[in-house]
Every structure is written in structure tokens, then in C-alpha cells.
Amino acid sequence: MNTAVEQADFFKTLEEKSDGGKLRGDYSQCDDRYVVQQDWSAYTPEQHALWRKLYQRQAKLVPGRACDVFIDSLAKMDAADEIPRFDRTTEALYKATGWELVAVPGLVPDLTFFEHLANRRFPVTVWLREPQEFDYIVEPDVFHDFFGHVPLLFNPIFADHMQQYGKGGLKALGLDGLTYLARLYWYTVEFGLIESPQGLRAYGAGILSSGGEVEYCLSSPNPKRIPIDVERVMRTLYKIDSYQETYFVIKDFQQLFAETAPDFAPMYERLKQQEALSASSLLPGEINLPPNV
Ligand code: PHE
Ligand code: FE
């Protein structure tokens, strides 16, 4: 079966979904899975220096704020000094959990993304943000993808969860469930919090690659922090241009794996009958956990 998504179709979908729909990556060289060569030697010394600055700022923020898995993996990844070579990281990652990194020009079609995950391949964007985007970028770049997402892939349970998510995505495409599954991804893989004996910690990549949200999500009195319930998460709208108004909290990765294991098909059917919840809602009976002190 040929499931490759034509670039023309991909860009047309993007255009319909968002204003303009232009992506900044160079899609002229990619294969039918949207994979490119990383071309590591093309990065400039200025880009490596910018990476170093991003890395150093973030590495200082994560102790006491990121979950242990993230901190431990990051230390092993040897990515502090320059934009990493994906093939070297893949060597270590493959040994740890059987995952590979593949280089991509930027966002890829949903189907393509899910197929990579379902086959234990994580797509990492090749380009780096510009200096004036130090604190905020609109599309994910290599710093977000690599620094934010790759460390957790060294954890066997999380690694299995990501593969299951990929398979679940392929399934959701046929069930009209993508809206719901995307919310789950947002509130877990991108913006999830996890309990630890010392208090709440972040495991979501959107938090861990952000200079401000990594502190805000744990310490601010403003956002809600609600113990996870998968169907509730999939009902909840999210913010893409501000800090989150709600974070969902897991006890451990085992819980995330167990909560997402059931067949989502009946949930999608129920969700289609309901109104979505606003990003700041707290339902009767729900617990709002206190911030870390
Ligand atoms: N269990 C989900 C389904 O049946 C798939 C899934 C697994 C989704 C893990 C997210 C994470 O569709
Ligand atoms: Fe991401």
C-alpha cells in the first residue's frame, strides 16, 4: 500500500487550515516520507553558538523542574556544545529503546507523522530558529524537537507509549478522531506534568523547550493542574499562543500508558456528541492541585 502524502495535497490542506499555510522548511529535497539528510556541515558557527545559548539557558532551568528521566537522558545525550548530529544520537537511542531519529524539513502530514511514530522513528526538524526568536517560535525547530522530545524517548515506557500513539493516530484518521487525539498529545507529550516525591515536574516537550513556561507551569497560582483523565483531556480546547491555562498531571509513565491503552473508538463517538470544554474549565469533583512551593 502506498500511503505517501503528496506535497501538493499537504500544502493545500495547510492552506485550508491556517491563514497562508506557508511552512518555512525546504521541502524540495525530501523523500515520500518527508525525510531529508541532516546536512550537518551546512550549519554555520553562528547557528551552533545560538544552539549553545539555548541549551545553556534551558539546562540551567530544568533541575528541580523536569522529571528525572529527562534530566538523566539529557546528560547522556552530549548535545551541549553544538547542534547535534542526529545519526550519533540515533546510535545511542537505538540501543536504549529501539527508536531512530529521522531528519525532516519541518511539520509533516499527520499520516506521515503517525507512520514514523508507529515504526519507532521520531521526526526532528533540521532548521534552527533565528536569534530574534530566542524565546518564542511559531513552528517547531530543531531545538524544540531535539531538546524537548528526544530525552524522553530514552525511557522504555515512554518510548512504547509514543509508538502506541502513532498507531492510535493511524486508527483515529479512519474514525474522524484526530481533533481529540491531538488534544491528548498537546496536554501530555507537549505540556504534561508528572508527580514526583519532591513535587510536580514537567515532562512535556513544549514546556521543557520553553524559557518561561518551565517555571510558570509549576509555580504560578494561575493555571489549573488536574489529575489526568484521558477522555476529559480529549474534550478540552488548548491555547497555542500563550502559556497553558490547564495542565494535566500523571502519576508516572505507567499510568499514561495504562490510561491510553483502551480502545478510543467509543470515546470518539461520545466526544462527537459533546461540546468541547474551554481551556480553563474545572468540572465539579475535579481536583486542582496546588503549585509547587
Ligand atoms: N488506545 C488508543 C486507541 O485505541 C491509541 C493510543 C495509544 C492513543 C496511546 C494515544 C496513546 O485509539
Ligand atoms: Fe513538539
How far is the centre of ligand 2, averaged over its atoms, from the C-alpha of 174 (Å)? 23
Atom of ligand 1 nearest to the CA of 172: 12
Q: Enter the DSSP assignment of 183.
A: H
Examine the pLDDT at 1 and tell me if it is beyond 70.
Answer: no
CA 75 – CA 91 distance, rounded (Å): 16
pLDDT at 21: 67
Atom of ligand 1 nearest to the CA of 257: 9
User: Contact, 65 vs 201, CB < 8 A?
Assistant: yes
CA 73 – CA 65 distance, rounded (Å): 15
Ligand number nearest CA of 256 is 1
CA 68 – CA 283 distance, rounded (Å): 31
Ligand number nearest CA of 143 is 2
Atom of ligand 1 nearest to the CA of 168: 5
pTM: 0.96
- Average confidence score pLDDT of the chain: 95
How far is the centre of ligand 1, averaged over its atoms, from the C-alpha of 178 (Å)? 11
Atom of ligand 1 nearest to the CA of 161: 9
For residues 240-251, average pLDDT:
95
Nearest to 232 by CA among 221, 224, 243: 224
How far is the centre of ligand 1, averaged over its atoms, from the C-alpha of 51 (Å)? 34
CA 194 – CA 204 distance, rounded (Å): 9
Which H or E element spans position 71?
helix 68-77
Q: Please list every protein residue whose CB sits less than 6 Å from any atom of ligand 1.
A: 161, 164-165, 168, 171, 260-264
The number of beta carbons lying within 10 Å of the beta carbon of residue 81 is: 11
Cell 474545572 locates to 282
At 193, list the grid cell. Answer: 506534568
Cβ burial, residue 176 (10 Å; 0-12/13-18/19+): exposed
Ligand number nearest CA of 117 is 1
Q: How many CA atoms lie within 13 A of 115 on its CB side?
A: 14
For residues 252-256, average pLDDT:
98
CA 49 – CA 162 distance, rounded (Å): 31
Examine the pLDDT at 196 and tell me if it is beyond 80.
Answer: yes
Q: What is the dihedral of CA 224, 229, 232, 236, to 10 degrees?
A: 50
Atom of ligand 1 nearest to the CA of 263: 4
Ligand number nearest CA of 106 is 2
CA 87 – CA 4 distance, rounded (Å): 24
pLDDT-wise least confident of 16-20, 68-72, 105-109? 16-20
pLDDT at 195: 98
Grouping H, G, I as helix, E, B as strand and the rest as coil, residue 271 is helix
- 17: confidence class by pLDDT, cuts 50, 70, 90: confident
User: Contact, 247 vs 191, CB < 8 A?
Assistant: yes
pLDDT at 19: 60
User: Contact, 195 vs 234, CB < 8 A?
Assistant: no
Examine the pLDDT at 3 and tell me if it is beyond 90.
Answer: no
117, 157, 264, best to mutate for ligand 1 pocket (most atoms within 8 Å of CB): 264
